[in-house]
A and B are shown apart, each in its own frame.
Chain A
Amino acid sequence: MEKLINEFSIGLFFWQIILFVLLLLLLHKFAWKPILRAVSEREEGIKDALAAAENAKKEMQNVSADNDRLLQEARAEREAMLKEAREIREKMVADAKILAQEEGDKIIKQAQLSIEGEKKAAIADIKSQVASLSVEIAEKVLQGQLDNKDKQLKLVDELVDEIKLK
């Protein structure tokens, strides 16, 4: 202890205090302050950047979820549209078929009707012709009877043949 006290130098103590305090003040102003500020600013920057990246990631996830949803919707819509189109087509075809059937039926009916009419007309014609022929035959028969009996018979035969030829 005595050695320590003996060794102690007031001058050195004095200079040490002065120099150290001076060094402390100078370093504080010109070194530690800017260094610590730069470091903490950088740390803040890193923190912010990380947070921003996290946000961006979340946003990306949202966007891709949106995309998926939109895609799904589009797909569903396409499906619906295709289905609708198919239905429309089938309906159109069915309608057309029905229409054609009806039209066909109508045409057939009309044809039948006209055939029927013509048949009737033909029958009526035949009937009138038969009547007129009968009348002619009767007339000719009556004319032949007036000449001779044989001749009359002959005529009848001829006429009958004639009818057959017709």
Chain B
Amino acid sequence: MQSSFVSNFLVGVFFFCLGPVLFAKETPSESGGPAGTKAEIKEYIAHHLQDSHDFSIASYTDDQGHKVHWGFPLPVILWDNGLKVFSSSLFHHGDTVAEVDGNYYKLYHNKIYKTDSEGTIVYDAEDHPTNTKPLDFSITKNVVMMLVTGLLLLWLFTSMARKYEKSGGVPTGVAKFFEPIVLYIRDDIAIPNIGEKKYSRYMPFLLTVFFFIWFLNMFGLTPLGVNVTGNIAVTMALALIVFLMTNFTGTKDYWKHIFDPLGDGMPWYGKMVIYIILVPIEILGIFIKPFALMIRLYANMTAGHVVLMSLIGLIFIFKSWVGGPLSFGLSFAISLIEVLVALLQAYIFTMLSALYFGFAAEEHDHDHDHEEPVLEHL
């Protein structure tokens, strides 16, 4: 039942993913030839990986040569000597200059720049725009997806909680599916890494981060074409929260482990020599751990999207009866793997967060040696 649903879902996802690409590429490119198509595909992939100011589902060029966009605009919120709020439809997908309160803004490569009324963008020697960038707090596509995911999670899990209340602790409906996962996070991630005594403090975060990442990863595989968890700002925010939680809940033993890892095992003059190297490494470790979390999630999700879209793009490069089915089969296989990766990356992020919380929460029991945490090198 479940597997047939998943496979149906996947097939659906695949075809819908294909949809926008097909639409986008139907226009015969002026340059023609495979080289032009390649560049176009590359640009399309790069565009897809980025956040955008409007929720576009598909775009194509009609018979008259006008680009038609499917989707809806999103609110733009700028801080430029005062709060400026306007609809992203003013940009017309980057084609026009938006005028707000006498200021002109232009969308260039998904970033908003302040320009003159003509929309002139001045480039430096390396082709980077030198126009000023106002602080951009827009509700972008990724923010919308986070909101949607957040609401979905809230709806799912509050209704799950209510079901428990109603049935007196017996999981029914949605709880039947999610309870094993919740229990897995508690019994196989939180308790072994953090310890029986303190794990409950970190449980809400671990559960939230797991489902948040998992759901967003899964949304990334849908035709919506979002890439939230493959965005460095998102993973950095998550990693920052892990970093703050780790260090603010750190026990005396945790800090002692960083600044005095050898303890009383060695006289001070011996320790001095070692600590010159050891302590900076330990301090660096505090930052490297969440940094690794950030990069790992970002890189895995981005790589997945790049591979999948490149394989789909092969269809338009080969343009033959061999290349089509071949790239179809390959991208189908990769889609399946991506579903696994979506879950795996959520698991790894949760697992490693729990591991770091475990370091922070550990209190040395001097009577017996504590268990060495595993998976340290993941």
In the complex the two chains form, what is the Cα distance from A23 to B135 in whole Å? 24
Instruction: Please tell me if A147 contacts chain B, counting CB pairs below 8 Å.
Output: no
- Looking at the assembled complex, report how far the CB atom of A28 sits from the nearest CB atom of chain B, in whole angstroms: 4
Which chain A residues border B241 with CB–CB below 8 Å? 17, 20-21
Instruction: Please tell me if B234 contacts chain A, counting CB pairs below 8 Å.
Output: yes
Which chain B residues border A13 with CB–CB below 8 Å? 233-234, 236-237
Task: Please tell me if the beta carbons of A23 and B51 are within 8 angstroms of each other in the complex.
Answer: no
Which of B160, B231, B240 has a CB less than 8 Å from the CB of A7?
B231
Which chain B residues border A7 with CB–CB below 8 Å? 50, 231-233
Given contacts A9-B233, A35-B160, contact A23 B137 (CB under 8 A): no
Task: Please tell me if the beta carbons of B164 and A38 are within 8 angstroms of each other in the complex.
Answer: yes
- Looking at the assembled complex, report how far the CB atom of B99 sits from the nearest CB atom of chain A, in whole angstroms: 21
Instruction: Please tell me if B353 contacts chain A, counting CB pairs below 8 Å.
Output: no
Q: Quick one: which of B188-240 are within 8 Å of A by CB?
A: 200, 203-205, 207-208, 212, 231-234, 236-238, 240
Instruction: Please tell me if B8 contacts chain A, counting CB pairs below 8 Å.
Output: no
In the complex the two chains form, what is the Cα distance from A23 to B203 in whole Å? 14
Q: How large is the interface on B (under 10, 10 to 19, 20 to 34, 35 or more residues)?
A: 35 or more
Instruction: Please tell me if B37 contacts chain A, counting CB pairs below 8 Å.
Output: no
Which chain A residues border B208 with CB–CB below 8 Å? 20, 23-24, 27-28, 32
Binding site for A on B (CB under 8 A): 50-51, 77, 135-140, 142-143, 146-147, 150, 153-154, 157-158, 160-161, 164-165, 169-170, 175, 179, 182-183, 186, 200, 203-205, 207-208, 212, 231-234, 236-238, 240-241
New A-B pairs, 13, CB < 8 Å, besides A15-B139, A15-B143, A16-B143:
A9-B136, A9-B233, A16-B237, A17-B241, A20-B212, A20-B238, A23-B154, A28-B208, A32-B157, A35-B161, A36-B203, A38-B161, A38-B165
